[in-house]
């Protein structure tokens, strides 16, 4: 299959290009910077410079790749710019979906997030409604992708592993440590980026709809924070008193579809933070 990978130099993109190539696909991977071409080529992909907000750039990328499928991994979090990331979820996704329609591409696999469901004590499935005040742009992203006849949305757990905020490089400064060890809720689910990439490859053959991609071990903040802190050579900060309860997420559907995580629990994964394909300099 000919794949246009939008966001080929990010944390998942760097894992995903070699995984797609190993599965027999031809990959045209985009970055906003020509300086990332070497990263993409090292994974076996064909590098393309694409600015999703520049119409000619998007058209050129689709024209070069002539894709059978698009994989949407665009984010804008390298500088922790949440507003920029909200924009790319909404405007960037709409632009990619419209381009796919113009070029006759029916299949798109897109990155979403799993912490969109109401608080609860049972595992959340894909049928749960969005919680009130869901992270901006997520509903718009998912709705746009699912307009395509073969649109697939992957709701990932919180990432860790090479190139993410939760990797060995987090030990580099107080600010990055704080970000890595900050809980989003009392309860949450994780996924290693190598496992996220593996699920994305498989999802090229999955049916239209939403699938959760998380490990087998939902965790409370007081459980995972000390383990990650020890791996980073520090001690965990106090848990904020005003955290939302959160909710663990079920991966039963993904497992039924053949996905088996390399790291079934963050407990093993945090002790080998940069396990999988080791890359440098990507961000999520």
For every residue of 11-31, DSSP letters joined together read HHHHHHHHHHHHTT-EEEEEE
pLDDT at position 275 is 67
Residues constituting the chain: 284
The answer to whether residue 276 scores a pLDDT higher than 70 is: no
Taking a C-beta distance cutoff of 8 angstroms, is the pair 185, 117 a contact? Answer: no
CA-atom Rg of the chain in angstroms:
18
The pTM of the whole model exceeds 0.85: yes
Between CA 64 and CA 74 the distance in angstroms is: 18
pLDDT class of 279 with cuts at 50, 70, 90: very low
Rounded Cα–Cα distance for residues 4 and 175 (Å): 35
Q: Mean pLDDT over all residues of the chain?
A: 94
Q: What CA–CA distance (Å, rounded) separates 89 from 76?
A: 9
Q: What's the half-sphere exposure (Cβ side, CA atoms, 13 Å) at 162?
A: 17
pLDDT digits (tens, 9 = 90+) for 6-61: 999 999 999 999 999 999 999 999 999 999 999 999 999 999 999 999 999 999 99
Q: Which residues face 152 on adjacent strands?
A: 109, 209
Helices (H), ranges, 81-120: 82-87, 93-102
User: CA–CA separation, 10 vs 200, rounded Å?
Assistant: 14
Mean pLDDT of 66-72: 98
Using left for φ > 0, alpha for ψ between -120 and 50, and beta otherwise, residue 66 falls in: left
Helix (H) or strand (E) holding 100: helix 93-102
Q: 3-state class of 210 per DSSP?
A: strand
pLDDT tens digits, 153-205 = 999 999 999 999 999 989 999 999 999 999 999 999 999 999 999 999 999 99
Rounded CA separation 88/91 (Å): 5
Euclidean distance between CA atoms 60 and 65, whole angstroms: 9
Residue 67 to residues 25, 27, 37, 141: CA-CA distances in angstroms? 11, 9, 19, 20
């Amino acid at each position: 299959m000919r794949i246009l990978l939008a966001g080929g130099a990010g944390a998942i993109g760097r894992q995903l290009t070699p995984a797609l190539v190993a599965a027999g696909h031809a990959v045209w991977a985009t970055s906003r910077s020509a300086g990332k071409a070497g990263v993409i080529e090292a994974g076996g992909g064909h590098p393309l410079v694409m600015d999703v907000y520049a119409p000619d750039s998007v058209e050129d990328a689709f024209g070069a790749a002539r894709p059978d499928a698009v994989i949407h991994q665009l984010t804008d979090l390298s500088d922790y710019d949440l507003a920029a990331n909200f924009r790319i979820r909404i405007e960037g996704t709409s632009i990619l979906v419209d381009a796919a329609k113009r070029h006759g591409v029916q299949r798109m696999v897109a990155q979403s997030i799993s912490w969109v469901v109401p608080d609860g004590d049972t595992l959340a499935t894909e049928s749960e409604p969005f919680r009130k005040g869901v992270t901006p742009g997520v509903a718009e992203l998912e709705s746009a992708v699912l307009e395509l006849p073969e649109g697939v949305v992957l709701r990932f757990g919180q990432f860790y592993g090479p190139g993410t905020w939760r990797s060995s490089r987090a030990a580099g400064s107080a600010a990055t440590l704080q970000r890595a060890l900050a809980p989003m809720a009392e309860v949450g689910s994780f996924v290693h980026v190598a496992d996220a990439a593996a699920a994305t490859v498989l999802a090229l053959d999955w049916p239209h709809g939403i699938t959760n991609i998380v490990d087998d071990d939902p965790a409370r903040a007081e459980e995972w924070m000390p383990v990650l802190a020890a791996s980073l050579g520090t001690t965990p900060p106090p848990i904020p008193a005003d955290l939302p309860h959160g909710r663990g997420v079920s991966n039963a559907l993904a497992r039924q579809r053949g996905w088996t995580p390399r790291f079934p629990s963050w407990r093993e994964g945090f002790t080998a933070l940069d396990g999988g394909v080791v890359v440098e300099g990507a961000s999520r």
